Structure formats: structure tokens, C-alpha cells
């Protein structure tokens, strides 16, 4: 198979098998990081948008994309980064939010564009569902997560920040 015989659908299917390095239960496609796939002659161009502009996992994601596409026969690959429009947690489907929650990370709440401080206050614990939680640290293990503590079950947990 060569780059020209691999269909766009096959490319999207391959991209959908690449897990996010920080949340391995969801793919780059499900998170909305993999935004677009196009062809320019024999070259396949994949456009990605990071959840944060300074996301340290971007280099790793690029390498994973190139390796995965080469494994299905794509020879010429260009991975572009687009910051416009910026990534937003509103792109997450209910299915993805449920997967994140089941993984032990509280999903971000829905918002209408402007993020109010109130959205940062009440977080349901992904382990027991209690809302008797507190923000421990706005800065979690990654730029896109914060650290919280549940008083009900006494578990620490991460939350995907609303963006």
C-alpha cells in the first residue's frame, strides 16, 4: 500500500487508535486534538491542536502519528499544529467525558465560552460522586489538569480543566 492508496477513512481510523499520552482511555481523535486530514499529492497532512499551547506531549503525539501512519503504508507525512481555533473542552462528547470520569479524572463542566470561577468550585468526585470536594492545587501533573480532594471518600483525584 502506498500513500495514495490509503484512504482518508483509513487514516482517521488509524489516528483514532492513538491514545492521549496523559489520558490513555481516549484517543487523539476523541479529544479533538487530531483536527483535520488532507492530501497534497503523495503527502498526508494531519493538523493537530493541543489542549494547551505549551503542551509538553506534542512532540510525542507527532511521533506517534507519524509511526502509526507509516505502519498503514503512508510514506509522506506532515504534522501541522494549529492554535486557531484554540482547543476547548466543549469539543468533548458525553461519551468521552464518561471515559475520562471512569478513568478517575473528573471531566470538565460544560460552559458557554466564558469560564466562571464558580465552575472551578464544585467538582464531583469520579470515585464516589460526592460534590464535597476541594481544590488542592490548580496545577496538576499536566497543564490541562488540576488536583482535588474528596472529603467523602478521602481520595485525591485529578480534574480535566475547563477551557
The predicted pLDDT at position 16 comes to 98
Within 10 A of 149 (CB to CB), how many other CB atoms are there?
A: 17
Q: Residue 48 and residue 87: Cα distance in Å, rounded?
A: 10
**pLDDT score recorded for residue 138:** 84
Q: Where are the beta strands (DSSP E) in 49-127?
A: 76-81, 105-106
- Does residue 73 contact residue 6 with C-beta atoms inside 8 Å? yes
**What are the backbone angles phi and psi of residue 102, rounded to the nearest 5°?**
-65, -25
pLDDT at 137: 87
Other C-beta atoms lying within 10 Å of the C-beta of residue 137: 11
pLDDT number for residue 66: 98
Say what the pLDDT of residue 56 is. 86
Report the distance separating Cα 27 and Cα 21, nearest Å: 9
Domains belonging to the chain, first-starting first, are 8-81 (3.30.300.130), 105-160 (no CATH)
Query: What is the structure's pLDDT at 156?
Result: 93
Question: What's residue 4's pLDDT?
Answer: 66
Edge-to-edge strand order for the sheet containing 34-40? 34-40, 43-48, 76-81
Is this model's pTM higher than 0.95 or not?
no
Nearest alpha-carbon partner for 145 in 129, 162, 160? 160
**pLDDT means per 10 residues in the chain (163 residues)?**
80 98 95 96 96 87 98 97 91 94 89 59 89 88 87 92 75
Amino acid at each position: 500500500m502506498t500513500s495514495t492508496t490509503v484512504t482518508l477513512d483509513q487514516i482517521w481510523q488509524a489516528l483514532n487508535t492513538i491514545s492521549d499520552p496523559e489520558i490513555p482511555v481516549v484517543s487523539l481523535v476523541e479529544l479533538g486534538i487530531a483536527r483535520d486530514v488532507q492530501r497534497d499529492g503523495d503527502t498526508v497532512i494531519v493538523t493537530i491542536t493541543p489542549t494547551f499551547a505549551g503542551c509538553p506531549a506534542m512532540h510525542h503525539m507527532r511521533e506517534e502519528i507519524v509511526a502509526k501512519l507509516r505502519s498503514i503504508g503512508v510514506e509522506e507525512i506532515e504534522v501541522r499544529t494549529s492554535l486557531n481555533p484554540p482547543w476547548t473542552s466543549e469539543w468533548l462528547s458525553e461519551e468521552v467525558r464518561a471515559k475520562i470520569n471512569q478513568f478517575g479524572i473528573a471531566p470538565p463542566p460544560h460552559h458557554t465560552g466564558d469560564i466562571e470561577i464558580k465552575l472551578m468550585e464544585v467538582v464531583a468526585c469520579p470515585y464516589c460522586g460526592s460534590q464535597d470536594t476541594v481544590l488542592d492545587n490548580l496545577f496538576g501533573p499536566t497543564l490541562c489538569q488540576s488536583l482535588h480532594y474528596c472529603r467523602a471518600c478521602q481520595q485525591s483525584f485529578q480534574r480535566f480543566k475547563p477551557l
